[in-house]
């Protein structure tokens, strides 16, 4: 019987430990780092260790090749250079990008291929497991979310499905990112 309960108990202990550490760090920041005096935790993750999630296949599918070739796109909504970060896998085949190098995320990777009028962002964006290991980080996810909001607003203003928006046709002064490549 004890073996049956070991996984749920250890998972509960992990969550409890993680929340204690989060509060401890929060208190440290408030006390010791200027600008954090009024900071607070607004939400905690419901689970520990979730890095992988479902992804919807989009009009463009990001892969490790996108990363390795440092691809640039006319409909780019953001850039990233975060390394491919997969635990417990030997990653010698994936070189880290050098300082100043990056690849771009195209708007098409946010547009669901088979569901009309649906955008996906963050960990759910269209890409392989390996590509997601680079683009799932917070700054890139926030940039994708911002671009999705801009595209949704553009679609509403122009009475069109968001899946028909062409990022490169939105005026530059209304976009959050303009590709230089």
User: How many Å apart are CA 69 and CA 54, to the nearest integer?
Assistant: 25
> Which three-class secondary structure state does DSSP give residue 58?
strand
Contact 45, 14 (CB under 8 A): no
- pLDDT (tens digit, 9 = 90+) per residue, 72-126? 999 999 999 998 888 666 655 677 899 999 999 999 999 999 988 999 999 889 9
Alpha helices (H) in 40-137, listed in sequence order: 64-68, 129-135
Q: What is the pLDDT of residue 47?
A: 66
Q: Please provide the size of the chain in residues.
A: 181
> Over the range 124-135, which residues count as b (16 or more CB within 10 Å of their CB) and which as e?
bbbbeebbbbbb
- pLDDT (tens digit, 9 = 90+) per residue, 21-69? 889 999 998 999 888 899 888 777 666 666 666 788 999 999 999 999 9
Beta bridge pairs of residue 86 = none
């Amino acid at each position: 019987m004890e073996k049956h309960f070991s996984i749920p108990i250890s998972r509960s202990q992990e969550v409890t430990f993680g929340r204690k550490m989060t509060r401890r760090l929060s208190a440290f920041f408030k006390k010791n780092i200027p600008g954090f005096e009024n900071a607070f935790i607004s939400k905690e993750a419901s689970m520990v260790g979730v890095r992988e999630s479902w992804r919807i296949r989009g009009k463009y599918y990001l892969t490790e090749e996108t990363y390795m070739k440092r691809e640039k796109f006319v409909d780019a909504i953001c850039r990233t250079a975060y390394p491919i970060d997969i635990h417990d896998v030997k990653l010698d085949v994936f070189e880290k990008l050098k300082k100043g190098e990056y690849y771009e995320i195209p708007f098409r990777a946010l547009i669901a291929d088979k569901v009309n009028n649906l955008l996906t962002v963050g960990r759910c964006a269209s890409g392989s497991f390996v590509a997601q290991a680079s683009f799932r980080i917070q700054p890139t996810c926030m940039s994708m979310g911002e671009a999705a909001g801009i595209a949704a607003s553009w679609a509403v203003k122009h009475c069109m499905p968001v899946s028909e928006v062409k990022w490169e046709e939105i005026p530059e002064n209304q976009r959050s990112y303009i590709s230089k490549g």
